[in-house]
Structure 1
């Protein structure tokens, strides 16, 4: 059953990621230009995914909910492979400032936000 829930959740997460990425590429151009053409849709997706995953874990969701939302939706929503491809592209284009900013924002920001989500989830339990 968990296998099915994770699969359903992953398809929902992937559709959300696709929609946000397409919307962001069309409407958030000014953000990317301000910060050296950063792939802001992927950054937003991964950071919000870290926060939501921490929240799901922090509230102590049961196995079924965690399989659907944590493993499934957040697994399909966040995208580590795209982020790393974009980091390589920033390197190839010699945008070292953008590369460092994007890498630090993604990795450190993700860790901070997963902790914040976990903390908030613990608060919501009580």
Structure 2
């Protein structure tokens, strides 16, 4: 029950952070490409990678494995899961395609997939520095 509560709170905080970051990016980059969602998904993928790596090291400092897993779930599944939004990225690609902007739709689809995977890998590498 505690894990569910922590994931729910993390998810709410992540969704609020997504709202703020997306809005700030959109305010600075008005155009055809959905930069707000792209930035959110790339930064969130990096954070998921970074957060997923070092949690077992908490046990080295006397933190129980159960607590370490709760923290990891709250940050990765909750916070980052609420923050990132692959479904919005796909809907934005469909809207771009339907409006005749096929190149932007393809760039959004393939760019999001490629860059988020690279960001997650970079996050894992960064998180590994703490292991």
Report the TM-score, using the length of structure 2 for normalisation.
0.85
- Provide the secondary structure at the position in 1 that maps to 2:16: helix
Structure 1 residue 113: Cα displacement: 1.0
Rg larger in 1 or in 2?
A: 2
Match in the other structure for 1:113: 119
CA displacement, residues 14-65 of structure 1 (integer Å, 9 cap, x when unaligned): 0001111222222222xxx3xxx11000000000000000001122352111
Structure 1 unaligned segments of length 5 or more: list them.
Answer: none
Match in the other structure for 1:53: 48
Structure 1 residue 82: Cα displacement: 0.8
Matched residue pairs, number? Answer: 119
Q: Which stretches of structure 1, 4 residues or longer, exceed 3 Å deviation after superposition?
A: none
Structure 2 unaligned segments of length 5 or more: list them.
Answer: 57-67
Give the superposed CA RMSD.
1.2
Match in the other structure for 2:108: 102
Distance in 1, Cα, partners of 2:55 & 2:100: 43
Following superposition of structure 1 onto structure 2, how do residues 31-70 of structure 1 map, counting pairs within 5 Å? 33=31, 37-60=32-55, 62-70=68-76
Structure 1 residue 68: Cα displacement: 1.1
Distance in 1, Cα, partners of 2:49 & 2:9: 20
Report the TM-score, using the length of structure 1 for normalisation.
0.89
Match in the other structure for 1:11: 12
Structure 1 residue 85: Cα displacement: 0.7
Match in the other structure for 2:128: 122
Distance in 2, Cα, partners of 1:120 & 1:24: 24
